[in-house]
Structure 1
Amino acid sequence: MENAKWRNIRAKFPTAFTSAKMRKMFVIMENMTEQLLQNLEVYAKSDTPLNIKSEISKFTMDIISSCALGIKTNTMKNENEELLGFGRKFFDDQWNVYNNSIVITIPRWILHKLNFRVMTKRTEEYFFNLFQRVIRNYRKENQVRRGDLADIILGLTEKHENQRDFSGKQPMEPINLDEFTSQCLVFLAASFETSSSTQTFALFELAKNPECQEKLRKEIIEVLAKHDDKITYDAVMEMKYLEKVVDGFFKR
Structure 2
Amino acid sequence: MIFYLLATVVCLVLGQYLLQTYRFRRYGVKYVTPVPLLGNTAKTLLRITAHSEQLVEMYNKFSSERFYGRFEFIAPIVEVRDVELVKKIVVKDFDNFPDRRKRNDDLDIGLARSVAMMTGQDWKDMRSTLSPAFTSSKIRLMVPFMVEVGDQMLLSLKEKMKGSKTGKLEINVRDLTARYANDVIATCAFGLKVDSHTNAVNEFFTNGKALASFSFRDNVLLLLSFNFPSLSKLIQFDFSKADRFFSNIFSRTIKDREAQSTIRPDLIHLLVEANKGKLKHEDTKSDESVGFATVEESSIGRKQINKVWAERDLVAQAVVFFIAGFETISTTMTFLMYEMARNPDVQERLAQEIKETDAKNGGKLDFEAIQKMEYLDMVITEVLRMWPPVANLDRYCAKDYNIGKPNKTADKDFIVKSGTGVSVPVYAFHRDPAYYPNPEQFDPERFSDENKHKIPSFAYMPFGLGPRNCIGSRFALCELKIMTYQILQHFVISPCAKTLIPPVISKDNINLRIKGGDWTAFECRE
TM-score by length of 2: 0.42
Deviates more, 1:215-224 or 1:82-91: 82-91
Q: Is the radius of gyration larger for structure 1 or structure 2?
A: 2
Aligned match of 1:46 in 163, 166, 170? 163
Q: What is the distance in 1 between the residues matched to 2:344 and 2:174?
A: 20
SS of match in other structure, 1:50: strand
Residue 174 of structure 1 deviates from its aligned partner by 2.4
For 1:143, the equivalent position in structure 2 comes to 261
Q: What is the distance in 1 between the residues matched to 2:263 and 2:329?
A: 26
SS of match in other structure, 1:49: strand
For 1:182, the equivalent position in structure 2 comes to 316
SS of match in other structure, 1:228: coil
Q: What is the distance in 2 between the residues matched to 1:167 and 1:29?
A: 27
1:56–1:199: 8 Å Cα contact kept in structure 2?
Answer: yes
Amino acid at match of 1:59: Y
Q: What is the distance in 2 between the residues matched to 1:212 and 1:144?
A: 45
2:182–2:205: 8 Å Cα contact kept in structure 1?
Answer: yes
Superposition misfits of 4+ residues, deviation over 6 angstroms = 165-170
Amino acid at match of 1:211: D
Deviates more, 1:147-156 or 1:189-198: 147-156
Q: What is the distance in 1 between the residues matched to 2:124 and 2:175?
A: 35
SS of match in other structure, 1:28: helix
The reply on whether 1:204 has 2:331 as its aligned counterpart is: no
Q: What is the distance in 2 between the residues matched to 1:150 and 1:106?
A: 34
Deviates more, 1:75-84 or 1:177-186: 75-84
Q: How does 1:61-210 map to 2 (within 5 A)?
A: 61-78=182-199, 81-90=202-211, 91-107=213-229, 110=230, 114=233, 116-133=235-252, 135-155=253-273, 171-175=306-310, 177-210=311-344
2:128–2:304: 8 Å Cα contact kept in structure 1?
Answer: no
Amino acid at match of 2:325: S
2:350–2:375: 8 Å Cα contact kept in structure 1?
Answer: yes
Amino acid at match of 1:102: L
Amino acid at match of 2:342: K
For 1:59, the equivalent position in structure 2 comes to 180
Call closer, same or farther: CA 1:103–1:129 in 2, change over 3 Å. same
Residue 214 of structure 1 deviates from its aligned partner by 0.8
SS of match in other structure, 2:151: helix
Amino acid at match of 2:248: N
2:257–2:263: 8 Å Cα contact kept in structure 1?
Answer: yes
Call closer, same or farther: CA 1:213–1:100 in 2, change over 3 Å. same
Identity %: 27
Q: What is the distance in 2 between the residues matched to 1:157 and 1:13?
A: 8
Residue 45 of structure 1 deviates from its aligned partner by 2.5
Amino acid at match of 1:72: K
Residue 187 of structure 1 deviates from its aligned partner by 0.6
After superposition, the CA RMSD in angstroms is 3.1
SS of match in other structure, 2:371: helix
1:66–1:73: 8 Å Cα contact kept in structure 2?
Answer: yes
Q: What is the distance in 1 between the residues matched to 2:136 and 2:302?
A: 25
Q: Unpaired segments of 5 or more residues in structure 1?
A: none
Amino acid at match of 1:144: T
Q: What is the distance in 1 between the residues matched to 2:275 and 2:130?
A: 14
Residue 201 of structure 1 deviates from its aligned partner by 1.1
Amino acid at match of 1:197: T
Residue 61 of structure 1 deviates from its aligned partner by 1.1
Higher relative helix content: 1
Call closer, same or farther: CA 1:149–1:103 in 2, change over 3 Å. farther
Amino acid at match of 2:220: Y
Residue 78 of structure 1 deviates from its aligned partner by 0.9
Residue 122 of structure 1 deviates from its aligned partner by 2.3
Call closer, same or farther: CA 1:106–1:241 in 2, change over 3 Å. farther
Call closer, same or farther: CA 1:156–1:44 in 2, change over 3 Å. same
1:57–1:196: 8 Å Cα contact kept in structure 2?
Answer: yes
For 2:380, the equivalent position in structure 1 comes to 246
Amino acid at match of 2:322: L
Higher relative strand content: 2
Amino acid at match of 2:264: R
Residue 168 of structure 1 deviates from its aligned partner by 7.3
The reply on whether 1:14 has 2:131 as its aligned counterpart is: yes
For 1:237, the equivalent position in structure 2 comes to 371
Q: What is the distance in 2 between the residues matched to 1:117 and 1:7?
A: 29
How many aligned residue pairs are there? Answer: 245
Amino acid at match of 1:201: F
Residue 126 of structure 1 deviates from its aligned partner by 1.9
Amino acid at match of 1:238: K
Higher relative contact order (CA 8 A, sep 6+): 2
1:99–1:118: 8 Å Cα contact kept in structure 2?
Answer: yes
Q: List per-residue Cα deviations over 1:5-50 (Å, max 9, x = no partner).
A: 1221122222223322222111221222221111110232223423
Residue 192 of structure 1 deviates from its aligned partner by 0.9
SS of match in other structure, 1:75: coil
Residue 117 of structure 1 deviates from its aligned partner by 4.9
1:13–1:149: 8 Å Cα contact kept in structure 2?
Answer: no
1:199–1:246: 8 Å Cα contact kept in structure 2?
Answer: no
Q: List per-residue Cα deviations over 1:119-166 (Å, max 9, x = no partner).
A: 554233322322222x222112212223432124335777x7xx9x98
1:74–1:80: 8 Å Cα contact kept in structure 2?
Answer: no
2:275–2:307: 8 Å Cα contact kept in structure 1?
Answer: no
Call closer, same or farther: CA 1:140–1:111 in 2, change over 3 Å. farther
Call closer, same or farther: CA 1:25–1:152 in 2, change over 3 Å. closer
